[in-house]
């Protein structure tokens, strides 16, 4: 498994024209989110620098979609411990 980027990481996606800031990992899509129900994505992000605007401007994507890491989010011991939890799920 690939280690997931920490929250706060800013990335560019393949085919994207806007930077996104990651604010969640291991996202399970439900029916009302407009994506394939029950599918899990690596990340959920919002446009950068705007941040959260509304549910219509939140995006789920996978690690393999990232083409550039512009800024890596904060990492400390808590993040390292949480990475272990993520690897088990």
Residue-wise pLDDT for 67-86, tens only, equals 999 999 999 999 999 988 88
Strand partners, 52: none
Quick: pLDDT tens for 14-56: 999 999 999 999 988 876 555 566 889 999 999 999 999 999 9
pLDDT band for position 60 (cuts 50, 70, 90): very high
Q: Please state the domain count of the chain.
A: 1
Burial label for 37, CB within 10 Å (0-12, 13-18, 19+), is: exposed
Query: Is 16 within a domain?
Result: yes
In-domain check, residue 3: no
For residue 38, give its domain range: 10-88
pTM of the model: 0.86
- Position 1 in a domain: no
């Amino acid at each position: 498994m690939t280690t997931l980027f920490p929250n706060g990481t800013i990335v560019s996606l393949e085919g994207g024209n806007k930077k996104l800031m990651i604010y969640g990992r291991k996202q399970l899509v439900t029916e009302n989110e407009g994506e394939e129900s029950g599918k899990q994505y690596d990340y959920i992000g919002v446009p950068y620098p705007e941040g959260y605007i509304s549910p219509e401007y939140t995006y789920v994507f996978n690690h393999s979609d990232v083409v550039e890491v512009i800024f890596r989010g904060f990492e400390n011991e808590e993040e390292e411990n949480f990475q272990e939890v993520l690897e088990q799920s």
